[in-house]
Structure 1
Amino acid sequence: MRQFQIPTTSADIYSLGLLFWEIAWCKPRNLPFKEVSIEKLYHHLRQYNHENLPELPVDYQHWRLLISKMWKFKAEDRCDINTVEMLMQRLYKGRSDSTSSVSSPISPTSPSNIFN
C-alpha cells in the first residue's frame, strides 16, 4: 500500500503559488503541467522543472518573484504564509500608491522595492 505524507503549510504555499500562476496566465484550458503525466510529475518537479510564467506587464513583474519564492522544490526554501501576506500587502500598497499606470515614477513603497 502506498503511503501518503500529511499535507503541510509549505505544500499549501506551493499550491497557492500555482494558483497565482494560473491567475497570471489567465487563459482557458491552460492547465499547469498538462504535458506531464501524474505518474511522472514528482520526478519532473524534483528536476527543478516548473511552469513558465507568462510575460507580464511591467507593473506585475514582482508577482513573478513572489511566485518563484513559493515554488521552491525544497519545502524549507519556500517562504511562509506571513511572508506571502506581507509581500502581497506591499504589492497592493505599491499599486494603490501609484498615481497612474506604467509611466508613473517609482516611489519608495512601490513594488520595485518590496523584495529588498
Structure 2
Amino acid sequence: MGVDRSTHRVGVFKGSANNWSLQYWWSCVTGAPSTPTITGYYRTTGGKRMSLSTDSRAKWCTQIWNGYFFHTILNSDAELGNSLSHGCLRMSYPSAQWIYSNVYAGTAVLIYS
C-alpha cells in the first residue's frame, strides 16, 4: 500500500517486486499540521478494532503502527482530501471496511509526502 500525504490518497497495489498494478486509489484525511501522519515504511501489525477507544465514531480500524490506524471518516465525506486528523488515515466507510477485511498483518505500507 502507498499513502501520499500531499495529495491525501491511499493506493492499494497488487503484484510483486517490479511488477505492481494499482487496484484502488482512494481519497483520505491525513494528519493536521500539529499532529501529522507518520512517514516511512511500515508493515501492518494485524491489530484490528471495530472502533477506536479514543473516538467511537472511528470504525473499521486497521493498525499501521502504534496509535496510527486506517479508519473511517468521523463526520462526512467533506473531510476527505484534507489534513484534519490526529495522525490516523481517515477514509470513506467502504474504503476503510475494505482495508479492514483484506489487509492482514505484515502488509507493506509506504507513507510519503
TM-score range normalised by the length of the shorter chain: under 0.3
Higher gyration radius (CA): 1
Q: Which has the bigger relative contact order, CA under 8 A and spacing at least 6?
A: 2
TM-score normalized with structure 2 length: 0.28
Name the structure where strand makes up a greater proportion of residues. Answer: 2
Normalising by the residue count of structure 1, what TM-score does the alignment of the two structures yield? Answer: 0.27
